[in-house]
């Protein structure tokens, strides 16, 4: 190898390190589309799409991105549970994800399922290096940035899964304990006002239902999409977000539990409260389809919908 | 020179002969002006279609998706009309005269489709051996119900004179049977939805979804499928009877493209390419999603359907989920087929609307019901299940094709013996 080539290699290595440091310098929970486009070739960045619509990723994604299929990759397909540790570890290794790389998650529907992905990543020990692309697919497309259909084959990582972090996930007993005032926490329900009040059990067309309508006693309601700027899918500013949730008494002074119908939309609000505002938050993925189906639990039903025949 | 006929089940051989006989006059047409009105009308329809494509692109919801659907629909309709890509007519040419050319066209479409899909699959799902299927590809369950669906669909083809895609392009030719076949299909769809839950629980739910690349790998699946197609082509050429050599091209490309029929293999080539383009950019080719979805909307509105159609919306194939939007990709695709076929038929002088006879109405409606029922249970038709399925390496595509040919053959023979079918 000539001295010149060696010099060039050293320079590249230095540049890469600098770039990688910049990747980490972004300590926020979000990255901008601008930042991401500048870091598309950064070897210390892994881009992962988590979208709801099948086939969307394959027909055009952010160049260099890999795909997670939320229907199967991040859940256990037999039990109602998130992916078991071994399954998650295998997925993370395949994606080349580890603690020393910046992982940027993004997706359709205002990053709804990308946020759910971030919650599962966090549970298994990948937190500060996992970020959401602010605005997700929507903003990337609106800004006419390039998309690609070429697959990439990343080098697998040697990631070792951590013990599941129980603090991030509320279970039924945690919620019941709050309802019975044995634990001091606030429950934030992010479903639509009509679901919250009990006028309807679920939005039209959804299969997963509960046998009763209403909400968990003591919970407050902020529909999840209110945190998003509808024009480009970005999150509102931290000040606006703080104000939005403070209005219903959620200000970070007490631990929070987020909940919805099946626990997926609520992970979007979990991300905002936990990662953007830094509150202590657990997501209750059992949500209304668990709570509203359990025998003998108290329910608040302001709409007065009563179960029975005609 | 008319290439359409009244029943919609056109005699390909006769048409070719007619085309050959008039070749000299067609060639002469280059010097003598073509009927001006016809040309003006065809150009006007084509320009209207272009304007619609532009408008959809400007205003549509997911604009590129809707616009591309309309463009590909137009291309598909034009190709179907110009090359007379009608599965039933082609099969009848073979049964009656051992004319292999139409079938060779279908084999061409399948070969192009399989090669193109394999190319796309390699990028989208590099390793086929896992548990996942390539996104949205029409790979369905292989069950007894699928065989029944193919038999019914084949019978419907024989009775109504076409499959659904051919009825759509015939609509653009002014066929007297096709409107009734499509109305009958709506009824068939609703009957399909009504019988779905029983068939799903008794056979479909427990049946396997078989995908050739999972067992054979992409290379193996490609080779095996192409070998089957090559074997069939060899058989056709060996046992078939080529009609007397058709005259050489007319020396006038205008006549060759716009007036005379395209050879079936050229049609097949384009059909295969359009199928691959649609899969790459939108979704697998299919012509029944919109009709199925609107039929379901109608039946739900009338309170005819059970509250839940078990598992129906979780299968790959021509989805019949009810959509709220006025403009849907598949709706525009259908509109593109009919309009472009209309323009192409006008230009070629093949738009010949006639008052329908009672027999045509009856055959259209009954055949249509069978087509619709077969489509719901088979999760698609000759395009959605047969073409897009076989292209995707789905065993369901091959099974549906075999059942459909059996159904058509038996029904046609029986119908002729009883004097009901021509």
pLDDT at B185 over 70: yes
Q: CA-nearest residue of chain B to A150?
A: B123
Q: Specify if B16 maps to a domain.
A: no
Range of B278's domain?
31-243+251-417
Cβ distance B266 to B307 under 8 Å?
A: no
Q: Specify if B11 maps to a domain.
A: no
Q: What is the ipTM of this complex?
A: 0.74
Q: Does B130 touch chain A if contact means CB atoms closer than 8 Å? A: no
Q: Does B307 touch chain A if contact means CB atoms closer than 8 Å? A: no
The separation between CA A223 and the C-alpha centre of its own chain, rounded to angstroms, equals: 16
pLDDT of B3: 37
Average model confidence (pLDDT) across chain B: 89
pLDDT of B326: 79
Cβ distance B102 to B12 under 8 Å?
A: yes
For range A96-104, the mean pLDDT: 96
For range A169-182, the mean pLDDT: 97
pLDDT of B355: 92
Cβ distance B264 to B368 under 8 Å?
A: no
pLDDT of B21: 47
Q: Specify if B25 maps to a domain.
A: no
- Which comes out higher in pLDDT, residue B321 or B280? B280
Tell me which residue of A267, A301, A77, A46 sits closest to A195, measured CA to CA. A301
**Residues in chain B within 8 Å Cβ distance of A72:** 131-132
pLDDT of B190: 96
Q: Does B14 touch chain A if contact means CB atoms closer than 8 Å? A: no
Q: Rounding to the nearest 10 degrees, give the CA dihedral for residues B236, B114, B144, B313.
A: -150
Q: Specify if B353 maps to a domain.
A: yes
Residue with tokens 């082509």: B233
Instruction: Identify the band that residue B247 occupies on the pLDDT scale cut at 50, 70 and 90.
Output: low
pLDDT of B78: 97
Minimal Cβ distance to A149: which of B123, B132, B136: B123
Q: Specify if B13 maps to a domain.
A: no
**Residues in chain A within 8 Å Cβ distance of B135:** 54-55, 57-58
Q: Specify if B120 maps to a domain.
A: yes
β-strand partners of A76? A81
Cβ distance A16 to A43 under 8 Å?
A: yes
How many separate domains does chain B show? 1
Q: Specify if B6 maps to a domain.
A: no
pLDDT in tens, B104-144: 999 999 999 999 999 999 989 988 998 889 999 999 999 99
Cβ distance A244 to A212 under 8 Å?
A: no
Cβ distance A216 to A175 under 8 Å?
A: yes
Q: What percent of chain B has pLDDT over 70?
A: 90
Q: CA-nearest residue of chain A to B282?
A: A59
Number of neighbours of residue B113 by Cβ within 10 angstroms: 28
pLDDT of B57: 85
Q: Report d(CA A236, CA A240) in Å as an integer.
A: 6
Separation in Å, CA of A52 to nearest CA in chain B: 12
pLDDT of B28: 38
Strand (E) or helix (H) holding B75: helix B63-83
CA-to-CA dists, residue A15 to A9, A21, A41, angstroms? 10, 10, 12
**Residues in chain A within 8 Å Cβ distance of B281:** 59
pLDDT of B285: 94
Tell me which residue of B279, B291, B146 sits closest to B207, measured CA to CA. B146
pLDDT at A27 over 90: no
Residue with tokens 């038929």: B345
Instruction: Identify the band that residue A275 occupies on the pLDDT scale cut at 50, 70 and 90.
Output: very high
Angle at B70 between CA B68 and CA B75, to 5 degrees: 95
Q: Specify if B14 maps to a domain.
A: no
Secondary structure (DSSP) of B313-382:
GGSSSS-------SS-HHHHHHHHHHHHHHHHHHHHT-----PPPHHHHHHHHHHHHHHHHHHHHHTS-I
Q: Do A58 and B124 touch (CB under 8 A)?
A: yes
A/B interface, count of CB pairs below 8 Å: 23
The 8-class DSSP code of residue A258 comes to E
For range B198-219, the mean pLDDT: 95
For range B42-61, the mean pLDDT: 88
pLDDT at A21 over 60: no
Q: Does B61 touch chain A if contact means CB atoms closer than 8 Å? A: no
Helices B144-160, B87-97: inter-axial angle, 10-degree rounding: 80
Tell me which residue of B108, B118, B77, B44 sits closest to B279, measured CA to CA. B118
Q: Does B124 touch chain A if contact means CB atoms closer than 8 Å? A: yes
Residue with tokens 């494509």: B53
For range A256-266, the mean pLDDT: 94
For range A238-264, the mean pLDDT: 95
Q: What percent of chain A has pLDDT over 70?
A: 90
Tell me which residue of B102, B199, B190, B115 sits closest to B149, measured CA to CA. B199
pLDDT at B294 over 60: yes
Instruction: Identify the band that residue B208 occupies on the pLDDT scale cut at 50, 70 and 90.
Output: very high
Number of neighbours of residue B198 by Cβ within 10 angstroms: 12
pLDDT of A13: 53
Q: Report d(CA A188, CA A287) in Å as an integer.
A: 11
Strand (E) or helix (H) holding A104: strand A102-106
Which of A52, A53, A59 best probes binding to B when mutated, by most B CB atoms within 10 angstroms? A59
pLDDT of A5: 60
Beta-carbon contacts of A260 under 8 Å, excluding residues fewer than 6 positions away, are: A189, A190, A191, A224, A266, A287, A288
Q: Does B297 touch chain A if contact means CB atoms closer than 8 Å? A: no
The 8-class DSSP code of residue B247 comes to P
Lowest mean pLDDT among A74-83, A97-106, A199-208, B95-104: A199-208
Tell me which residue of B330, B386, B354, B343 sits closest to B82, measured CA to CA. B343
Cβ distance A48 to A103 under 8 Å?
A: yes
Q: Report d(CA A13, CA A227) in Å as an integer.
A: 41
Separation in Å, CA of A18 to nearest CA in chain B: 33
Q: pTM of the prediction?
A: 0.84
Strand (E) or helix (H) holding A68: strand A66-69
Tell me which residue of A140, A207, A176, A175 sits closest to A283, measured CA to CA. A175
Q: Does B123 touch chain A if contact means CB atoms closer than 8 Å? A: yes
The pair phi, psi for residue A222, each rounded to 5°, is -135, 100
Beta-carbon contacts of B384 under 8 Å, excluding residues fewer than 6 positions away, are: B138, B284, B285, B286, B287, B288, B289, B317, B318, B375
Q: Do A59 and B280 touch (CB under 8 A)?
A: yes
Residues within 8 A of A (CB atoms), B 222-281 only: 280-281
pLDDT in tens, B145-183: 999 999 999 999 999 999 999 999 999 999 999 999 999
pLDDT at B89 over 70: yes
Q: Report d(CA B111, CA B227) in Å as an integer.
A: 10
Q: Do B123 and A69 touch (CB under 8 A)?
A: no
pLDDT at A304 over 90: no
Separation in Å, CA of A54 to nearest CA in chain B: 6
Lowest mean pLDDT among A271-275, B28-32, B204-208, B364-368: B28-32
Separation in Å, CA of B111 to nearest CA in chain A: 23
Full set of structural domains in chain A with CATH: 3-142 (3.40.250.10), 166-291 (3.40.250.10)
Q: Report d(CA B211, CA B389) in Å as an integer.
A: 10
Instruction: Identify the band that residue A8 occupies on the pLDDT scale cut at 50, 70 and 90.
Output: low
Minimal Cβ distance to A54: which of B126, B136, B282: B136
Average model confidence (pLDDT) across chain A: 90
The 8-class DSSP code of residue B387 comes to I
pLDDT in tens, B339-352: 999 999 999 999 98
The 3-state DSSP class for residue A228 equals strand
Q: Does B136 touch chain A if contact means CB atoms closer than 8 Å? A: yes
**Residues in chain B within 8 Å Cβ distance of A153:** 126
Separation in Å, CA of A200 to nearest CA in chain B: 17
Q: Report d(CA B169, CA B156) in Å as an integer.
A: 17
């Amino acid at each position: 190898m000539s001295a010149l080539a060696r010099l060039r290699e050293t320079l590249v290595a230095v540049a890469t390190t600098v770039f990688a440091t910049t990747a980490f310098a972004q300590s926020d929970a979000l990255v901008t589309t601008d930042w991401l486009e500048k870091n598309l070739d950064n070897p210390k960045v892994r881009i992962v799409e988590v979208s709801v619509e099948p086939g969307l990723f394959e027909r055009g994604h952010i160049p260099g991105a890999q795909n997670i299929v939320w229907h199967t990759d991040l859940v256990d397909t037999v039990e109602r549970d998130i992916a078991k540790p071994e399954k998650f570890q295998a997925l993370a290794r395949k994606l080349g994800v580890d603690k020393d790389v910046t992982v940027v998650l993004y997706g359709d529907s205002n990053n709804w399922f990308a946020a759910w992905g971030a919650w599962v990543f966090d549970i298994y020990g990948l937190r500060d290096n996992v970020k959401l692309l602010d605005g997700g697919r929507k903003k990337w497309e609106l800004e006419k940035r390039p998309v690609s259909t070429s697959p990439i084959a990343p080098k697998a990582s040697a990631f070792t899964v951590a013990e599941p972090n129980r603090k991030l996930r509320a279970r039924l007993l945690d919620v019941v304990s709050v309802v019975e005032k044995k634990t001091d926490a606030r429950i934030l329900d992010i479903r639509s006002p009509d679901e919250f009040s009990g006028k309807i059990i679920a939005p039209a067309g959804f299969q997963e239902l509960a046998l009763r309508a209403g909400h968990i006693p003591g919970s407050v309601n902020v529909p999840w999409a209110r945190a998003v700027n509808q024009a480009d899918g970005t999150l509102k500013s931290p000040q606006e977000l703080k104000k939005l949730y403070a209005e219903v008494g959620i200000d970070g002074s007490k631990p929070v539990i987020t909940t919805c119908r099946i626990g997926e939309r609520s992970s979007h609000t979990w991300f905002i409260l936990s990662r953007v505002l830094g509150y202590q938050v657990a997501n209750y993925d059992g949500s209304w389809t668990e709570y509203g189906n359990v025998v003998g639990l108290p329910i608040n039903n302001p709409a007065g919908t009563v179960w029975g025949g005609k | 020179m008319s290439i359409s006929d009244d029943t919609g089940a056109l005699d390909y051989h006769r048409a070719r002969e007619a085309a050959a006989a008039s070749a000299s006059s067609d060639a002469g047409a280059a010097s003598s002006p073509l009927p001006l009105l016809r040309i003006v009308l065809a150009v006007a329809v084509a320009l209207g279609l272009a304007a619609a494509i532009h408008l959809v692109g400007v205003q549509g919801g997911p604009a590129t998706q809707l616009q591309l659907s309309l463009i590909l629909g137009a291309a598909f309709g034009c190709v179907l009309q110009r090359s007379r890509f009608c599965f039933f007519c082609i099969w009848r040419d073979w049964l009656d005269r051992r004319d292999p050319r139409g079938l060779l066209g279908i084999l061409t479409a399948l070969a192009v489709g399989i090669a193109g899909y394999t190319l796309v699959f390699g990028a989208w799902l590099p390793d086929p051996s896992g548990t996942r299927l390539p996104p949205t590809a029409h790979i369905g369950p292989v069950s007894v119900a699928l065989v029944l669906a193919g038999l019914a669909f084949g019978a419907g083809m024989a009775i109504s004179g076409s499959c659904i895609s051919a009825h759509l392009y015939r609509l653009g030719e002014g066929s007297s049977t096709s409107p009734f076949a499509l109305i009958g299909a709506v009824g068939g769809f609703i009957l399909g939805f009504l019988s779905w839950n029983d068939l799903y629980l008794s056979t479909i739910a427990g049946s396997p979804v078989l995908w050739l690349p999972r067992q054979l790998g992409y290379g193996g699946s490609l080779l095996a499928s192409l070998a089957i197609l090559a074997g069939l082509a060899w058989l056709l050429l060996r046992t078939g009877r080529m009609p007397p050599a058709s005259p050489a091209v007319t020396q006038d490309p205008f006549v060759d493209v716009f007036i005379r029929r395209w050879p079936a293999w050229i049609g097949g080539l384009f059909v295969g390419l359009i199928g691959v383009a649609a899969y790459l950019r939108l979704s697998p080719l299919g012509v029944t999603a919109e009709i199925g979805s609107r039929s379901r909307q109608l039946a739900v509105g009338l309170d005819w359907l059970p509250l839940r159609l078990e598992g129906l919306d979780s299968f790959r194939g021509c989805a019949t989920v009810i959509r709220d939007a006025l403009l849907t990709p598949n709706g525009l695709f259908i509109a593109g087929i009919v309009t472009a076929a209309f323009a192409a038929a006008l230009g070629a002088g093949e738009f010949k609307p006639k008052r329908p006879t009672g027999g045509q109405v009856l055959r259209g409606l009954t055949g249509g019901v069978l087509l619709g029922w077969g489509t719901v249970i088979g999760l698609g038709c000759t395009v959605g299940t047969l073409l897009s399925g076989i292209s995707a390496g789905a065993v369901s595509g091959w099974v549906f094709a075999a059942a459909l040919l059996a159904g058509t053959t038996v029904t046609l023979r029986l119908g002729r013996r009883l004097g009901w079918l021509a």
